[in-house]
Amino acid sequence: MNSRGDVIPDFSYAGYHNSAITLPSITAPNITVTFNNSVDVRPAIQAAIDSIASSGGGSVILPAGKWSMTAGLNLSSNVVVAGSAGGKTTLSLSEKPSVPVFTLGSDNTAKPKYGFRSNITNDYVPIGSSSVEVVNSSGFAVDQLVYVSRIATESWITANGMNNLVRDDASQTWIPENKRFMTPNQISGVDGNNITLKIPLTDNIDLDYLRPELIVYTPPETNSEMGIRDLSIEVPDTCSGASLNDKTCNSAAIHFPSWTADSWASGLTLKGFNKFFQIDQDASRITVQNTTMNRDKDISGSALPFDIMIQGSQVLVQDCEQVGISSARCFSVATGSLTPGPNAVLRHKTQSDSQTIYPHQRWAQGLLVEDTSVATYFVNRNIKGTGQGWSINGGVGWNINGYCEFESPPTGINWCIGCGENGSEPKGNATLLETGQRVEPRSLFQAQLQNRGVYRYDGEES
């Protein structure tokens, strides 16, 4: 705990059903698809997905073999697509993907419906706190979905040193004044004007700098309980290394769009993509695990691609690996602008320091990186890009034994604990504790789960 009461966030709420249960096995009823050596098996797969969805949900089992297809499959609620036992199903793209191969949910651009709201009155609410005081609690009730809202002020932007960014003689805007950033949560208790939240805060609230509110919301139509498992997907005419401006080659292999919840990908082998996973804003409780991403060509130029881009919240990435050529530069896991936490990356692997775990821009909140040798950067990106500036607050590195730089913004805090075991001393002005050695518990994520009373979770379920 620092002098203002900030503590390490509780990251254990990241993942499918807040990691309270393991991923489901193949669900009945199911359809086993038969292919007739078609030049494109996508229509047959989509027909099976639509059929099982119309009957209430179940699993679509793809046969063993290597099958040619085009991208553009869409799942709806309660549908799982799985390869054959042993992971012997390969989907080979006959064209470079201009759309995702699999989209779990709908590309729903609808906005939530906002309800009752009230200003938060605490002078300071530290990271890790589970309650806030409001002016008026009459419209709040247990189990309501809420946003913890903060509005950026000129004084907050200035206090973080982000008010005078200039690159090539042109002014840059980090976060515009009056920008509202929203962290989803749920009410678990109401006592007078004190509201208790289900998920402890991953960002602080400072009344001197921010205009905070608690806002009830109703989401638009959501999709949930979708999964992809035990498949190989390849782009023979590789997209790895394509320019980020190439619209035919920068769609993700797997896309979790906004308002997708409690869904997952597991046991995948992906090759030749320039982006492997995209998890959008307002997607939540997503698990990506036990997946290999093969980036088989380096990019030309300085703008780097992403293996996994996280813009949603309560996202868990665990036991994934980036392979291919060691010189292929990328952000292996990154967060986007104002990405709300908690999110967690556990036991991630890459080929070299050319691939990094790196919050990319503009005040993401609450990311855990644990038990990895991947080069990790929680830093001020300053004038990079369009003025990406402070990229993360409330972030934690735990038992990182690779190269790492951790910095804390003036109005926030990041931690690196048990970092630098292999002699790579962590750099930066963040709170660096127990450096040069591995700490116990080995897994902060697992310990926090157990503190919630979740003991059956082993972190590596299939």
Average pLDDT over the chain, rounded to an integer: 94
Q: How many Cβ atoms from other residues are within 10 Å of residue 452's Cβ?
A: 14
Does residue 446 sit in helix, strand or coil?
helix
Q: How many Cβ atoms from other residues are within 10 Å of residue 172's Cβ?
A: 18
| pLDDT given at position 406 | 98
Kindly indicate the confidence band of residue 3, based on its pLDDT and cuts at 50, 70 and 90: confident
Return the percentage of the chain with pLDDT > 90, whole number.
88
Q: For residue 53, what is the enclosing H or E element?
A: helix 42-54
The answer, yes or no, to whether residue 459 has pLDDT greater than 50, is no
The answer, yes or no, to whether residue 461 has pLDDT greater than 50, is no
Return the percentage of the chain with pLDDT > 70, whole number.
98
Spatial contact of 43 and 71, defined as CB atoms under 8 Å apart: no
Q: Render 120-179 in DSSP notation, one character per residue.
A: B--SEE-TT--EEEBS--TT--TT-EEEEEEE--HHHHHHTT-SS-EETTEE--SS-TT-
- As a whole number of angstroms, the distance between CA 54 and CA 162 comes to 51
Q: Residue range 97-117: average pLDDT? A: 94
Tens digit of pLDDT for each residue in 368-381? 999 999 999 999 99
Which residue(s) pair with 316 in the sheet?
Answer: 287, 344
The answer, yes or no, to whether residue 26 has pLDDT greater than 80, is no
Half-sphere exposure of 414 (CA within 13 A, CB side): 34
Kindly indicate the confidence band of residue 421, based on its pLDDT and cuts at 50, 70 and 90: confident
Tens digit of pLDDT for each residue in 224-239? 999 999 999 999 999 9
The answer, yes or no, to whether residue 458 has pLDDT greater than 70, is no
The answer, yes or no, to whether residue 412 has pLDDT greater than 80, is yes
* C-alpha 276, offset from chain centre: 13
The answer, yes or no, to whether residue 162 has pLDDT greater than 60, is yes
Q: Is the four-CA dihedral 161, 167, 170, 176 of positive or negative sign?
A: negative
Q: Is the four-CA dihedral 95, 99, 100, 106 of positive or negative sign?
A: negative
Q: What does DSSP assign to residue 110?
A: P
The candidate with the shortest Cα–Cα distance to 317, out of 295, 298, 293, is: 293
Q: Residue range 405-425: average pLDDT? A: 93
Q: Residue range 168-186: average pLDDT? A: 96
| pLDDT given at position 457 | 53
Torsion of CA 124, 130, 132, 138, to 10 degrees: 170
The candidate with the shortest Cα–Cα distance to 295, out of 334, 360, 255, 239, is: 239
The candidate with the shortest Cα–Cα distance to 52, out of 71, 70, 73, 28, is: 28
Tokens of 259: 């308002």
The answer, yes or no, to whether residue 22 has pLDDT greater than 60, is yes
- From 29-43, 133-147, 318-332, 396-410, the region with the lowest mean pLDDT: 29-43
Tokens of 40: 């494109």
The predicted model scores a pTM of 0.96
Spatial contact of 23 and 287, defined as CB atoms under 8 Å apart: yes
Kindly indicate the confidence band of residue 460, based on its pLDDT and cuts at 50, 70 and 90: very low
Q: Residue range 181-198: average pLDDT? A: 98
Tens digit of pLDDT for each residue in 243-286? 988 889 999 999 999 999 999 999 999 999 999 999 999 999 99
| pLDDT given at position 109 | 80
- As a whole number of angstroms, the distance between CA 458 and CA 462 comes to 10
Which residue(s) pair with 119 in the sheet?
Answer: 213
Distances (CA, A) of 430 to 164, 209, 385, 405, 409: 23, 21, 23, 9, 8
Tokens of 255: 């896309």
- As a whole number of angstroms, the distance between CA 368 and CA 8 comes to 10
Q: Residue range 440-456: average pLDDT? A: 93
Q: Is 361 exposed, middle or buried (0-12, 13-18, 19+ CB in 10 A)?
A: buried
Q: Render 176-191 in DSSP notation, one character per residue.
A: -TT-EEEEEEEEEEEE
